[in-house]
Copies of this chain bind each other. A is one copy, B any other.
Amino acid sequence: MIILNGGSSSGKSGIVRCLQAVLPDPWLAFGCDSFVDAMPARMQESDGGITFAADGAVSVGPEFRALEAAWTEGVAAMARAGAKVIIDDVFLGGAASQQRWQKALGGLDVLWVGVRCESEVAAGREIARGDRVRGMAAAQADAVHEGVFYDLEVDTTHTESLLCAQAIATYVG
């Protein structure tokens, strides 16, 4: 199992698609985006769910956390059932977020990957994408890495997604 953590617009999704392309076995990819898509639309407007403030701040409530915990258990079960799984996540809680994953994944072999991108560059890519609330990239660029340990870190500021993926792939199998 591979878990990538990085701020919004740091380039995680591109790395995931490249990883799926370069790794010889088929890996399933899930992440915070697909998890949010699985929730009822109204959870994106409620205090118990997930809210995106106009300044890019993201906050999550107790209902979100409860569903996320079950989702995390499910992802762990997929891996235990033999699937190779790549997760891309945004550790809004830093080290606490990593501990939540560790608790669920107990016993599974995990490669922890930090995806870094300079705040200013990520903010520019957020504009270029055009589909994200402005400010998320800058707000998350450093905060999501606080207290988190990694087996490997990549930095997309000056390195292409494919090269980052190839670096990660050398650690796998």
Could you tell me which A residues sit within 8 Å of B by CB distance? 13-15, 17-18, 20-21, 26-30, 34, 37-43, 49, 63, 66-67, 69-71, 73-83, 121, 124-125, 127-130, 158, 160-163
Contact = CB atoms under 8 A, between A and B. Distances in A.
Given A41-B17, A77-B76, A71 B28 contact: yes
- Best-surrounded residue of A39, A125, A128 (most CB of chain B within 10 A): A128
B38 A29 contact: yes
- Chain copies in complex: 4
B40 A27 contact: yes
A41 B20 contact: yes
B28 A67 contact: yes
18 contacts: A13-B128, A20-B39, A20-B42, A21-B42, A26-B39, A28-B70, A34-B34, A41-B130, A67-B83, A69-B81, A70-B82, A71-B78, A74-B75, A74-B76, A74-B77, A74-B81, A124-B160, A158-B158
A39 B17 CA distance: 10
A83 B74 contact: yes
A48 B158 CA distance: 36
B43 A161 contact: no
B124 A26 contact: no
A128 B49 contact: no
A71 B71 CA distance: 12
For the complex of A and B, the 5 pairs showing the least CB-CB separation, nearest first, are A77-B77, A74-B78, A14-B128, A70-B83, A124-B162
